[in-house]
Structure 1
Amino acid sequence: MGCFRVLLSIICPPLAVIDKGCGSMVIVFLLTLCGWVPGVIAALIILNNPKN
């Protein structure tokens, strides 16, 4: 996880996880619509996952 990805996940969470698959992007987008903080937290968790 690079510095650019962290900044992108803080500014616009769905764009940070765009290469992790459509499902991840949809989940982060919906959480961002519910509130900015849940979207950022979900994006950081998805980006920090070592399996993907």
Structure 2
Amino acid sequence: MSFWRAVLAIIFPPLSVLGKGCGSFFIVFLLWICGWVPGVIAALVILNNPER
């Protein structure tokens, strides 16, 4: 995970996981709509997953 992806995950989480697939984008988007903190946490977890 690069520094700029982490910054983008804090500012606008759905955009930071756009390269990880459509499903990840929608999951993070829905969590972000429910609250900023769950969206940021989900984005950081997805970005830190080395398998994807």
TM-score (norm 1): 0.99
Deviation per residue, 1:2-52 (Å, 9 max, x gap): 100000000000000001000000000000000000000000000000101
Equivalenced residues, count: 52
TM-score (norm 2): 0.99
Residue of structure 2 equivalent to 1:29: 29
Q: Cα RMSD (Å) of the superposition?
A: 0.3
Q: Percent identity?
A: 67
Q: Where do 5+ consecutive residues of structure 1 fail to align? A: none
4+ aligned runs moved over 2 Å, structure 1: none
